[in-house]
Structure 1
Amino acid sequence: MEPSPMGYFGRLPVELRMMIWTDILTQRSTTILRTSSAIYDDIAGPLYETFQITLSPNYNDPWLTLQSTWTKLTWELQPRDGRRKRKKFWKLLYNRSKLIVDILAPQPKDPAQIILLWKKVHDLVTILNRAKYDRSHIVVRLKQHQGQDWQNGKTPVQNIKYPGDPHPNHLIVFLPLCRLIRVRKMEFHLISTDVDRFATHRGFIRYVNITRIFDNIDGMVTDIDFFFECKLDVLPGRTAAMLRLDRFANWFTTRDAETSPYQRQLLLTAWEYPNIVATHDPYLAAWVRSMELDDI
């Protein structure tokens, strides 16, 4: 037997070593990874093999949950967590990992849950696009949650009725993912107990296939984002109430009491996409036009 760089410990069967590493890591002690390159190599393969990210439509659930499927180590991210916490997600070895993203179905009786998922998917895309390493393999799974599916019968669920062409929930959570960069392989799956009759599956695959020829992803994303901002003011349900509270709590997030990033972004949308504003908020569009006339 060749000498092991880990001494007698390296002579143990790999199954026993993995049990020991799992026990150490599940105690949230990752310092073992820095003890030697041999130990790091022995652990890193299984540790980074598969990560699972869960996005829940429930307001009280974590903003984002990431779990190593081997060690069951779990990291949670909240919306107000700063750069220091997010850097842990940016530095993960995505180039060595398979990343499974589970998006749980929202409840139509609480319509703003789809807005919450919209925001979470946006944030996830931002995190992944800022990551140091390319993503080797991403699998997105739309899953049932608390008895709710992504469609009723053969009709895709649409929590919030969009003016014009239908915008079902599965399309809402898919569009931000079109902004992902540096991904080598990507898969989409709809998990349903009635997959043979899952009409959404065919429609979803159709959207996936035409992603590359979307004329203006940024415009489509901005349109839905502004549409949700307008609808949030009148939507019923607890999730809508909490999102309105969050919006006002974060209205001013700079030291300058006169500067509102939220308001600045809203006006930027009004000036860059006047047709979108005119569609969803004609009163704001009229106000912007009056400001432009005053400047002449």
Structure 2
Amino acid sequence: MQLLFFPFLGAFGIIPSDTASTKKTPLSILCTSRDLYNEISSHLFSNSVQNVILNPVYNEQVWMVIQFKFRAREIEWALRNRADSERHFQNFPHSKTTMVVHINRPDPTDPGQLVLLWQKINALADHLIPITRPNIKLATNGPWRSPNPPASWGPDRDLFYQMGGLQESIPFGPKYCPDYDVVMLPFLRLGLWVEDPTNVPAMSDEEFDILRRCLFSLFDQKGIEHRLEPLLSMTKDTAVREIESALIETDLFLETRMDELAGITARFLRLERYKNWFEDGRSWESVYEAQLEKQLSAYPQVITDIDLLLDRLSTRYVVLILLHHAICSPRSNLYGGLGRFDDSTIYTTWDSEMWPERFPSGIPQLSDVQTCLLRFWRPGKDLFGKFLAYSRWLGRRGPRKLDGQLYTV
């Protein structure tokens, strides 16, 4: 019975991915008549609910789930990746329905789930900001409070409960960074409702009042004065900068901690980060690096509590380059298996599909990867000479001599 409604949904660009087709539907005329579209859609979507389900469990085939309920009927389909979800949110008539975003609690024994939720929620905010403001409700599913403070809190049990007693999957040193605050923070961007937070017109008193109400409605109230003091102290002149700073700080915190997180989700997230570090081909352009540079340029102060000397970032990049060499070497049939005796070849083409072939179960913690790499390259020239050759070649995109040897493209 549900399949009978797919032609109607298709007229609005709402087709489950498994049933997508280029065939015209009986309501294709709606695509050419705005009056017909408005009249029929107002009846079709009357009292309807669009449930957006964000699951923290890693699934390569499911990025988010859409569940559409109208007139006692229900249709559900999966969006496989971020590109699918972007197309959905561009086409769906959100202003004609109620959206309920369901956020399932991450498992603290698999801390990478919190990072995955952060990525999905930020993507959702990116999709929602350019469209007409929909009616959005949030539902957090699961017990987000922790019966006991994490071991990192030591004897400060009472302080933990004074600050909210919320589950904290990834400790943030001197700060308290509960999972609930992490997943709610990106929705503050919808309080600002601007695509570019660095270019925002002056905020009126009314707009700032709405933003403050949004802040208090999003976050758990117990201990909020301790957890979110900078945001509670913002003014209409500082609000944009405070919110953007909090977002960047959280993003960098999760990004750096992901290097050493245990669990299957973190393994696959490390794989996703590494395989997509550069664009496929020979351009060596990196969206990841461009975003990081933009963050550090805009708010350099946030790095002080996270990666003061950029040691984590440097280690991550060294491991990336050496792993790329290790993956490519066997394909060249070089003497020595992993090409550790080869001093002349730099692999200049980026192929993202090589990474999941080599790491079908994800990439281990980077400290373990470093240990593994040292089994194949001696510390010193063999290991870091190859890295220097890569990094210097990337700077010029061409051949060069290093220590008297020619590294060819």
The TM-score, its normalising length taken from structure 1, stands at 0.71
The letter of the residue matching 2:5 is L
Q: Whole-Å Cα distance in 2 between the matches of residues 25 and 122 of structure 1? A: 31
Unpaired runs of at least 5, structure 2: 11-24, 31-35, 148-160, 195-206, 315-409
Q: Residue deviations 1:178-203, cap 9 Å, x none?
A: 0012899979689xxxxxxxxx5645
1:266 is paired with a residue of what secondary structure?
helix
SS of equivalent residue, structure 2 residue 277: coil
Percentage of identical aligned residues? 24
- Asked which structure has the greater RCO (Cα within 8 Å, sep 6+), the reply is 1
Contact 1:33 1:40 in 2 (8 A): no
Task: Identify the residue that residue 83 of structure 2 maps to in structure 1.
Answer: 81
Deviations 1:215-240 (A, max 9, x none): 61000000010111110111111001
Tell me the residue number matched to 1:252: 278
- CA distance in 1 between counterparts of 2:294 and 2:103 reads 30
- Which of 235, 239, 250 does residue 265 from structure 2 map onto? 239
Q: Is the 8 A contact 2:112 2:266 kept in 1?
A: yes
Partner of 1:25: 5
- Alignment length (residue pairs): 250
Cα deviation, 1:118-161, whole Å, max 9, x if unaligned, reads 00000000111122x321x21101111xxxx2112362101101
RMSD across aligned C-alpha pairs, in angstroms?
3.6
Alpha-carbon distance, 1:284 to partner: 1.6
Contact (CA 8 Å) 1:140, 1:188: kept in 2 or not? no
Following TM superposition, the consecutive aligned residue runs of length 4 or more in structure 1 with deviations greater than 3 angstroms are 26-30, 32-39, 182-190, 200-207, 209-215, 285-288
- Name the counterpart of 1:50: 49
Asked if residue 152 in structure 1 is aligned to residue 146 in structure 2, the reply is yes
Aligned residue identity for 2:91? K
What residue is the counterpart of 1:174 in the other structure? 184
Cα distance in structure 2, aligned partners of 1:163 and 1:278: 12
Take 2:8 and 2:98, find their aligned partners in 1: how far apart are those partners?
22
Question: Using the alignment, how far apart are the partners of 2:275 and 2:313 within structure 1?
Answer: 25
Paired residues for 1:85-104 under 5 Å: 86-104=86-104
User: What is the match of residue 196 of structure 1?
Assistant: none
User: Cα 1:107–1:141, aligned 2, differ >3 Å: closer, same or farther?
Assistant: same
Who wins on radius of gyration, i.e. which is larger?
2
Relative distance call for 1:74 and 1:87 in structure 2 (3 A) is same
